[in-house]
Structure 1
Amino acid sequence: MKFSYRQHLLRATLFLLGVFPLSGFCQQIIKGQVTGPQDLPIPGVNIQIQGANRGTTSNFEGEYQLVARKQDTLVFTYMGYAPQKVAVDEQTQINIQLQENENSLGDLVINAGYYQVKDRERTGNIAKITAEEIELQPLVSPLQALQGRMAGVEISSGTDTPGAAPTIRIRGQNSLRTEGNYPLYIIDGVPINSTPVESNTSLSFAGIDPLSTMNLSNIENIEVLKDADATAIYGSRGANGVILISTKKGEGQKGIQARLYSGISTVPNKLDLLNTQQYLKVRRQAFNNDGVEPDEFNAYDLLLWDQTRETDWQEEFLGGTANITDVSISAQGGNDRTHFRLNGAFHQQGTIYPADLQYQKITGGAHLDHRSKDEKFQLGLAINYGVDQNELLGDGVDFNTNAFTLSPNAPALYLDDGSLNWEEWGEAGLNNPLEGIFNTSTTRTHNLITSLNLSYEIAKGLEVKTNFGFTDFNSDEVVKMPQRSYNPAGMPLHRSLNTQSQRQSWIIEPQLNYQHQWGKLNLNALVGSTLQENQYDTFSVQGENYVAEALIGNLGAAESLINGVARNTQYRYQAVFARLGLDWDQKYYLNLTGRRDGSSRFAQGNRFANFGAIGAAWIFTEASFFEENMEWLSFGKFRGSYGTTGSDQIPDYGYLDAYEATQGPGGLYPTALANPQYSWEVNKKGEIALQLGFLKDRISLGASAYRNRSSNQLVGYPLPATTGFNSVQANLAATVENRGWEVEFSSDNIRKGNFRWQTSFNISFPKNELIRYPGLEQSPYANTYREGHPLNIALLYEYTGIDPETGYYSVKDQNEDGVLNQEDQVVIQDRTREYFGGINNSLSYKGISLQFLVQFVKQEGSFTSLFNSGFPENQLQEFSSTSATDHQISQTPEASLAYSRVVESDLVIDDASFIRLKTLNLSYSLPADWISPLGINQAKFFMTGQNLWTLTDYRGIDPDTPIGGLAFSGLRTFTTGLQVNF
């Protein structure tokens, strides 16, 4: 199927290129430079051809180049400056000097999905970051580039492993189901399945990121749609927000751009653990306190292991250096009617762990845009293809835990010949901690995303448009488990686990757009429909007893194949949607959107649902009474929205009985119960906001207050074991609310001579609450949620201090029944963030530029590790001493039981707030007169840092993963590079 599709795609592309050739239309090439009031060049100025959806931007020296007709008019716009229009006529050199303007806020064009809108005119909440903030970050997933840069958007990597899917929440958690909180991803107009791909490797917890094969240097913008006005046009798919990723087009200056950077990554932090002598002292104290005589069984670290040996296991397991290399190249060109862009990139990243692991990614893409001579027909073709190979450990080896818990005098893990040391560890009755270390996993992913946009102007202001999209995602994973990974005493076999996954989808979206103006009234209308189909196939099987290690993974060489599982699901979706945008005198704006969705995940009678929203805005500084009375306020806008979106993020076929074949011949057994009654989850969103611009828009301030309520919750309702099933799909009469404040601020602090300093700031105050759940106490979630509290909570015992009789930790028996159980866990810990945000600064002087982002988070976490004093594992130094207020160092069963309870108490609550220097970029562009004789338009050296410094009181290794204390989500990275434009 996929090869046939690509052949047809190639033929269609060649046909289109034949019908609309790259040459033959002669127009003028316009060049020029854009400067400011002091004749300083202004980079990033938007130059558009009036009435056409094309243009370019000025480079670092303020220079630009584009193709235009004599009758065209160029429009120059830039934040903080008055727009200027210049007729082309016979000119080929147009230099412009922009002047500061009181009402230029919002000239930035925002992608709202099915349409575009200026920032000053939008009625919805849409956040945006550009290529300059994305392309130089040494990251694999583009979503990681959003951390700290957007209000209301939380990104958590959860792991340092490249290719792992990050967790993203846009204005909180709406659904009781984890899989019900994924936002909608759209790349160049094509929706992408945002659910992480299953894995049997160290990525098994996070899953494989479906965006990992994207080329960050090819991304033009990322917009995030948050409120009802922005998301309702996507209906059920926009319940958790929408992430729009736009790749770069071939507009602007022709030429070739090459970029190379290389660097290293290291672990961001180390914990202060006991050394050998401190550790042995604590262990001997435990035996002394317990009155127990050490022997080779209970005190192998004291009697069998070398008492002078000392290993820094943090350095051993986490002290490596991961090398990073990234190379990207792009070329763009064309003529007056057709322009193109080709790009390719290679990314390679090593590991900090003591294993031969590597991540590699190769990406390529093409973008073709064409306009007919009469400007009525337009074509846009985008192709993005990525291949990555991720070499990982098989699921089981935990370097992180071993790095912090192994005894510092533990014996060597390997023998001189490189094999695992089983004998010394076996003498202590233990398995080698690196059991499984020779297991390897190779995951190869292929991802094709294509889109074709066709439009034709039927009449003045009336346009018909159609979007076509196709995606093909393939993942092939082989986990090899050789005998030498396991204790030979267990007579292990050579084994493998092979998993293949494929996701294919196609979408067709015909649309009709109409625009007209009657005096002061401007109308924009849109009506369209969506037809979409997703196919998901997965197959896994285990091979056993290969005759040689070299054959592991070749299923034909396995003696037996077991646990074969194949799943095939199909999802179909259709919708009709409409938008009506009204603008009166560029002061009052009204935006009405609606959508009727149909999903194959519901039974007949429940398949269709209606969603819609209304958004309104008033630019009150356009009122006549503001023109003279408040000169210091250059822009002011009230806006608000209310509407509904829905969700069908549930497994396919849940309304049907499901069966699977038995292992033996001729049998079926039921695997799921039918429930045709459940219907759509509904999310009602409301928002009010204020946007202000001060001092000719040198200062901008925005504040939003929102409330979202998600009801009719779709869950897999747990069932008693006596039914024979784990759960059944159903609606719960539960309501989840997310409310909060978001504040965004930006300022042009200094603009003097060649020096410029700009600052942006965002902060969010989210609040998540389960406001209603009838019958919660009798439900299976009675020990998971509490009404009036967030979904992300921990139910804990109340810590009462050290028991004076035993010296052990103690917790309170709330009902005094002599039994400690879930009924006594009455302390509710809120694990949601109290507030979070970021401060970004950009400074430039001539060719020198410095940008840095500081991320901050206020939250509570937990620290549940490394204070179980007395047992044969390492701990933090702060827990090693004993006093009247400390617990008794002991390894009795009673002490162990007390510890297991106290780690579920409020004692482990820890302040996990932090301030982090998230990114830093320093660059220097060589002067134009140095490089122009070499045929180079721009040459820039740059240095980038990631996760450079963190200020926190959290006792764990990384406050960004604040549960437990032994995990970290990001490495400290330094890179240097060079970018050259020809």
Structure 2
Amino acid sequence: MKFSYRQHLLRITLLWIGVTPLSGFCQQIIEGQVTGPQDLPIPGVNIQIQGTNRGTTSNFEGEYQLVARPQDTLVYTYMGYISQKVAVGEQTQINIQLKENENSLGDLVINAGYYTTTERERTGNIAKITAKEIELQPVVSPLQALQGRMAGVEISTGTDTPGAAPTIRIRGQNSLRSEGNYPLYIIDGVPINSTPVESKSSLSFSGIDPLSTMNLSNIESIEVLKDADATAIYGSRGANGVILISTKKGKGQKGIQARVYKGVSTVANKLDLLNTQQYLEIRQQAFVNDGVEPDEYNAYDLLLWDQNRETDWQEEFLGGTADITDVNISAQGGSDQTHFRLNGAFHQQGTIYPVDLQYQKFTGGAHLEHRSKDEKFQLGLALNYGVDQNELMAGGVNFRSKAFKLAPNAPELYNEDDSLNWETWGEAGLEHPLAGLYNKAEIKSHNLVSSLNLSYEIILGLALKTNFGFTHFNSDEVVKMPQRSYNPSSMPLHRSLNTQSQRQSWIIEPQLNYQHQWGKLNLNALLGSTLQENQYDTFSVQGENYVAEALIGNLGAAESLLHAQAKNTQYRYQAVFARLGINWDKKYYLNLTGRRDGSSRFAQGNRFANFGAIGAGWIFTDEAFFKQHLEWLSFGKLRGSYGTTGSDQIPDYGYLDAYEATPGPGGLYPTALANPEYSWEVNKKAEVGMQLGFLKDRIHLGVSAYRNRSSNQLVAYPLPATTGFNSVQANLPATVENRGWEVEFSSDNIRKGNFRWQTSLNMSFPKNELVSYPGLEQSPYAHTYREGHPLNIALLYKYEGIDPETGYYQVIDQNGDGVYDQEDKVVIQDRTREYFGGIQNSLSYKGISLQFLFQFVQQEGSFADIFNAGFPQALTAEVDQNFSAYQQVSQTYEASQAYSRAVQSDLTIENASFIRLKTLNLSYEFPLSWIEVLNLSQAKFFLTGQNLWTLTDYKGMDPDSSVGGTDFSSLRTLTAGVQLNF
């Protein structure tokens, strides 16, 4: 018998992946239409040939066409409708009417990265939010939109500055290195460097967010992969979890959509401070207690400054209004085979501070999808481009701190010509509190993320797929430091600091996918590889003595250039990965994944490592026993997973000696010490979970218990100064464990007529622990960590109350040596959250819709900065109301030392738990009969609020930051807008 080349290829391929060839390739063209209630067409319905990866989607009229065999079964699925199956047989025309059922787990498609699954069938732990929850939030980073919405996902912005990188932790801190805990970001299949971009501005504590240039209105969904089953296929890159961002595609109704909103942001909370009279009484008492005569140097606020002047510095520095404007326009269309979507957006945001700063973001995107008529070839192209321009303060002026440091009778800050009032402050021997005010950082970032996906079905059920990705991020920052920012007596110069950063990467991922079903056995196999290269370049130089302020930043106009530095690194990564998904009778699920990774960050012999996981699920309610005896339990699934992932989140070239050029010609000096012996950090993850559905899936409950252990910790090990080096890259024998529980609940409370009320809840109970660290007491981390306690701890003195002899704060000298040092810090404060979560409600009636989310956190915080009575600074009103709780009013050295030790003691610990109305959205969709005359298909008006109300006992500005009581990260925001569809 002779075989064609294609038949030979078929047999070889099937033998290679371990299956047998199939028969019955007789095919026919199937056409039809999908409709819903009232026979209205439904676009975007997924029509899949059961047991294969072949399928199509309905067009804008609900019509579809595909090629199938008589023995095939078509599966019709669409979000919010009950899925249907139809045997093809001899039919060539199949019309389907879907029925609504928004509780169906099987219809919720989940992006698992290299493949898709459903909420019903997933064996891993994957959380998802959709465009409906993202697009109207008035935030810059898509990560901010996740706050309070996902179990196990903690996000802290840490600042009110737009464009700053938020901190995200998925199931806690795995690594001793803060930079070793970033999750993997993937946009439309392309990995993005999640490390914040270095900045010399006021953003420098966190860096620039690499996701800040994304358009939130263009995001279709965000999935977060948490456990081993979900993340192991990403190998080392998924050690800290994976965040998958999918942008919108050109499927659905043709036309143009415009959305515009405007709003304002203000400080959500202010502290109650003493007025001038109360403040002066305390200051005068300090001199009486100390037996010191006031003079113009130690009592400038009493003798030089106006005793009747009163300024609310909170209002002065934090009382501004930040305006917000957002405009988004998109257009989509196409034919049966080709869909496209174009979008563009503009976002602008001001500042609450008394300076002229603006943040602007311009974004554009394009998405194209095409498939051949025979459904064998598919193409997907996604382009996302963003530019943001950020103006930031860069002179060290912290308005949030100054609002609580200045006395209420402090003199004017400005002269009549708006220049800084150096003379009055100089008379008191003080530096002007706003020195550096006119320094400004101007940051302009460009970000391109592009992906191309090609797929071809070689034979029935076997497809070759290749993903291509290219990213380019460029940041150009100029910090301008004019003379007028500094005291003229110091003869300052016009200066600048110019920094350029560039990140560029490409990735190629060829894959083979095979799907087939034999009776009740369904198999899904995936084999692929990854080739990736990242290039990072940075350059900085300082310019001095510009002849005019207008020329600052133009390096050609600087008299001299100083401290030029350049850095270039290259990272290469390659991997082979495989997945085998098996299910029997849609009840028993087994998912096997494996990956072999290679990283250029390790020396020869340590560059490759193997990672893998196993996940399993059992839908026990499909068993006959449960169907007969537990009718009230509509869905029940047990699942579990175990596996290993790794981490290579360390600097490049750490295994090599490094040198830099000496300032003089012809020389080199060593800057880094080689260590070729260190290897991969390893993270072992285990999880069990249960998902339940009650009352025909109107109530859903999910519970997960997990344990992650990260060992062989990669750190920059500190070295003694005598070695000539600060640190060396090495593995430490430390093991960090994250364990906990997660609860997810949703219910369809009322669904009657045109009224509907839905609720969802998530709660997380995390526990972080340094399980073991042999030799910790002799290591450089002896005063940082404690075995058996979390990584995020504070070591504090034990507070003993007010010393009856001195009247000052006192702490316990544990070893009695008369010296207060680290050996006396025996109180261990756990700064991790005891539990956190969110509860969201959604109500709708006809065209009116209301959604609101409450975020809640149980935690301990610290409040210490504003009870140092006696010194010239603002004080809270509580000092005056509860005077006996504080040390004797004094400004002596002994009082200052007592206060310094007290703020490092457990006296500062207090309950920083809170409940916050995080978001509120109210919208009204106008009836079609009202807008048809305007040729509109939809018109909607909406109001949005964020951080509207907080219930807490915390004394500071914001319990979410809990840093000294003077820092805050959350602004109250109100916006109003309109959406029009043409």
Quick check: TM above 0.5? yes
The superposition leaves residues 2-40 of structure 1 with CA deviations (integer Å, 9 ceiling, x where unpaired) of xxxxxxxxxxxxxxxxxxxxxxxx9989574447xxx9x
Aligned to 1:297: 297
Aligned to 1:47: 45
Offset of 1:695 from its aligned partner? 0.2
Aligned to 1:392: 392
Offset of 1:188 from its aligned partner? 0.2
The superposition leaves residues 887-911 of structure 1 with CA deviations (integer Å, 9 ceiling, x where unpaired) of 2011000000000000000000011
1:566 aligns with 2:562: no
Task: Confirm or deny: 8 A CA contact 2:30 2:65 kept in the other structure.
Answer: yes
Task: Confirm or deny: 8 A CA contact 1:747 1:759 kept in the other structure.
Answer: yes
Task: Confirm or deny: 8 A CA contact 2:919 2:944 kept in the other structure.
Answer: yes
1:602 aligns with 2:586: no
Q: Where does 1:26-41 land on structure 2 (aligned, <5 Å)?
A: 32-34=35-37
Give 3-state SS (helix, strand or coil) of 2:278's partner. helix
Change (3 A) 1:868 1:28: same
Q: Where does 1:621-700 land on structure 2 (aligned, <5 Å)?
A: 621-700=621-700
Q: Where does 1:410-429 land on structure 2 (aligned, <5 Å)?
A: 410-429=410-429
Give 3-state SS (helix, strand or coil) of 2:412's partner. coil
Aligned to 1:905: 905
Aligned to 1:730: 730
Distance in 1, matches of 2:395 and 2:454, equals 47
AA of the residue aligned to 1:179? E
AA of the residue aligned to 2:602? F
Task: Confirm or deny: 8 A CA contact 2:937 2:981 kept in the other structure.
Answer: yes
Task: Confirm or deny: 8 A CA contact 1:80 1:696 kept in the other structure.
Answer: no
Give 3-state SS (helix, strand or coil) of 2:421's partner. coil
Task: Confirm or deny: 8 A CA contact 1:80 1:105 kept in the other structure.
Answer: no
Aligned to 2:64: 68
Aligned to 2:128: 128
Give 3-state SS (helix, strand or coil) of 1:386's partner. strand
Offset of 1:965 from its aligned partner? 1.3
Offset of 1:99 from its aligned partner? 6.2
Aligned to 1:13: none
Aligned to 1:211: 211
Offset of 1:885 from its aligned partner? 4.9
The superposition leaves residues 425-468 of structure 1 with CA deviations (integer Å, 9 ceiling, x where unpaired) of 00011111111111111100000000000010001110000000
Q: Give the count of matched residue pairs.
A: 944
Give 3-state SS (helix, strand or coil) of 2:533's partner. strand
Aligned to 1:970: 970
Distance in 2, matches of 1:303 and 1:546, equals 41
Q: Where does 1:948-959 land on structure 2 (aligned, <5 Å)?
A: 948-959=948-959
Distance in 1, matches of 2:673 and 2:287, equals 55
Give 3-state SS (helix, strand or coil) of 1:106's partner. helix
Change (3 A) 1:335 1:74: farther
Aligned to 1:223: 223
1:535 aligns with 2:535: yes
AA of the residue aligned to 1:75? Y
Aligned to 1:721: 721
Task: Confirm or deny: 8 A CA contact 1:737 1:769 kept in the other structure.
Answer: yes
Offset of 1:76 from its aligned partner? 4.3
1:798 aligns with 2:798: yes
Structure 2 unmatched runs, 5+:
1-28, 69-73
Task: Confirm or deny: 8 A CA contact 1:79 1:106 kept in the other structure.
Answer: no
Give 3-state SS (helix, strand or coil) of 1:315's partner. helix
Distance in 1, matches of 2:101 and 2:973, equals 41
Aligned to 1:747: 747
Give 3-state SS (helix, strand or coil) of 1:310's partner. coil
AA of the residue aligned to 1:237? R
AA of the residue aligned to 1:467? N
Give 3-state SS (helix, strand or coil) of 1:678's partner. coil
Structure 1 unmatched runs, 5+:
1-25, 58-63
Between stretches 626-635 and 822-831, larger displacement belongs to 626-635
Distance in 1, matches of 2:85 and 2:319, equals 56
Aligned to 2:761: 761
Distance in 2, matches of 1:125 and 1:790, equals 24
Between stretches 686-695 and 870-879, larger displacement belongs to 870-879
The superposition leaves residues 759-800 of structure 1 with CA deviations (integer Å, 9 ceiling, x where unpaired) of 000000000000000000000000000000000000000000
Offset of 1:819 from its aligned partner? 1.1
Q: CA RMSD in A?
A: 2.0
Task: Confirm or deny: 8 A CA contact 1:45 1:77 kept in the other structure.
Answer: no
Aligned to 1:357: 357
Task: Confirm or deny: 8 A CA contact 2:601 2:652 kept in the other structure.
Answer: yes
Give 3-state SS (helix, strand or coil) of 2:628's partner. helix
Give 3-state SS (helix, strand or coil) of 2:895's partner. helix
Distance in 2, matches of 1:882 and 1:700, equals 50
Aligned to 1:944: 944
Task: Confirm or deny: 8 A CA contact 1:260 1:979 kept in the other structure.
Answer: yes
Task: Confirm or deny: 8 A CA contact 2:148 2:856 kept in the other structure.
Answer: yes
The superposition leaves residues 289-316 of structure 1 with CA deviations (integer Å, 9 ceiling, x where unpaired) of 1111000000000000000111100000
AA of the residue aligned to 1:159? T
Aligned to 1:21: none
AA of the residue aligned to 1:480? K
Offset of 1:948 from its aligned partner? 0.3
Task: Confirm or deny: 8 A CA contact 1:921 1:944 kept in the other structure.
Answer: yes
Distance in 1, matches of 2:850 and 2:705, equals 33
1:492 aligns with 2:492: yes
AA of the residue aligned to 1:55? T
Distance in 1, matches of 2:85 and 2:979, equals 31
Distance in 1, matches of 2:95 and 2:687, equals 47
Distance in 1, matches of 2:934 and 2:35, equals 20
Change (3 A) 1:54 1:906: farther
Offset of 1:690 from its aligned partner? 0.4
* Identity rate, percent: 77
Q: Where does 1:861-940 land on structure 2 (aligned, <5 Å)?
A: 861-880=861-880, 885-940=885-940
Aligned to 2:109: 109
Q: Where does 1:346-495 land on structure 2 (aligned, <5 Å)?
A: 346-495=346-495
Between stretches 202-211 and 964-973, larger displacement belongs to 964-973
Distance in 1, matches of 2:367 and 2:282, equals 65
Distance in 2, matches of 1:334 and 1:799, equals 71
Give 3-state SS (helix, strand or coil) of 1:963's partner. coil
AA of the residue aligned to 2:953? D
Change (3 A) 1:559 1:568: same
The superposition leaves residues 203-229 of structure 1 with CA deviations (integer Å, 9 ceiling, x where unpaired) of 010100000000000000000000000
Distance in 2, matches of 1:308 and 1:91, equals 89
Offset of 1:107 from its aligned partner? 2.2
Offset of 1:54 from its aligned partner? 4.6
Change (3 A) 1:443 1:704: same
Give 3-state SS (helix, strand or coil) of 1:747's partner. strand
Task: Confirm or deny: 8 A CA contact 1:33 1:96 kept in the other structure.
Answer: yes
Distance in 1, matches of 2:896 and 2:359, equals 41
Q: Where does 1:87-106 land on structure 2 (aligned, <5 Å)?
A: 96-98=98-100, 104-106=104-106
Aligned to 2:165: 165
Aligned to 2:25: none
Distance in 2, matches of 1:91 and 1:854, equals 49
Change (3 A) 1:924 1:434: same
Task: Confirm or deny: 8 A CA contact 2:869 2:886 kept in the other structure.
Answer: no
Distance in 2, matches of 1:975 and 1:86, equals 51
Give the TM-score normalised by the residue count of structure 2: 0.94
4+ residue segments displaced more than 3 Å? 26-35, 51-57, 64-67, 70-74, 76-101, 881-886
Distance in 2, matches of 1:976 and 1:569, equals 46
Offset of 1:77 from its aligned partner? 3.9
Task: Confirm or deny: 8 A CA contact 1:590 1:614 kept in the other structure.
Answer: yes
Change (3 A) 1:371 1:883: closer
Offset of 1:355 from its aligned partner? 0.5
Offset of 1:886 from its aligned partner? 3.6
Give 3-state SS (helix, strand or coil) of 2:207's partner. coil
Give 3-state SS (helix, strand or coil) of 2:493's partner. coil
The superposition leaves residues 630-669 of structure 1 with CA deviations (integer Å, 9 ceiling, x where unpaired) of 1100000000000000000000000000000011111100
